[in-house]
Structure 1
């Protein structure tokens, strides 16, 4: 995973886990990688992964079965979707809107690009 400097690493890892939940790589009630496994896989400090897991627990996206591991919550898919949507709306959209306004991009142009994207992503 290539980390960026615009967001804390533990948040970027949380986003990645949520994306995996949304595409059902991790399904509700599935065990997710242990702190150590994910730290090795992502080449980060285990404390960073632990911070991610604590954060996702606070959001009720995952839960811990003591001695067994971390699991996606029963309503984890909806919670992950809510979390990523909120992140997008609050953090990504304002800068995008600024560029749209600056470049005078019309909603029609955006719609055409989006429809093309959907067409290409379904292949």
Structure 2
């Protein structure tokens, strides 16, 4: 995983976990990699992964079964969407709107690009 400098690593790992859940790679009540396994896989400190897992627990995306490990919450997809949507609306959308305004990009042009992106990336 390539980490970006503009965002805390534990938040980028949270995005990684959330994406795996949204894409169906990790399903409800399925065990997620242990803190150590994830740290080795991503080449980060286990404390960073633990911070990520604690955040995701507070958002009811994963839960800890004491002595067994971390598991995807049964309501994880809805909780991920809620968490990520709020993040997008608060952090990313204002930047997009600013750039649209400065570059005189209309919603019609944006809609065309969005449709093309979805067709090329998600329609098999």
Quickly name the TM-score band, shorter chain normalised. over 0.9
Alignment of 1:78-117 (within 5 A): 78-117=78-117
Partner of 1:36: 36
Alignment of 1:3-18 (within 5 A): 3-18=3-18
Runs of 4+ in structure 1 over 6 Å off:
none
SS at match of 2:96: helix
Provide the C-alpha distance between the structure 1 equivalents of 2:44 and 2:103, rounded to a whole number of angstroms: 39
SS at match of 1:4: coil
TM-score, structure 1 length as denominator?
0.97
> C-alpha deviations, 1:6-50, integer Å up to 9, x for none?
111101101110111001111010000000000000000000000
Question: 1:5: Cα distance to partner?
Answer: 1.5
**Matched residues, number:** 123
RMSD: 0.8
> 5+ unaligned residues in a row in structure 2: which ranges?
none
Provide the C-alpha distance between the structure 1 equivalents of 2:35 and 2:81, rounded to a whole number of angstroms: 22
Provide the C-alpha distance between the structure 2 equivalents of 1:58 and 1:23, rounded to a whole number of angstroms: 21
> C-alpha deviations, 1:59-91, integer Å up to 9, x for none?
111100111000011111110111111111111
> 5+ unaligned residues in a row in structure 1: which ranges?
none
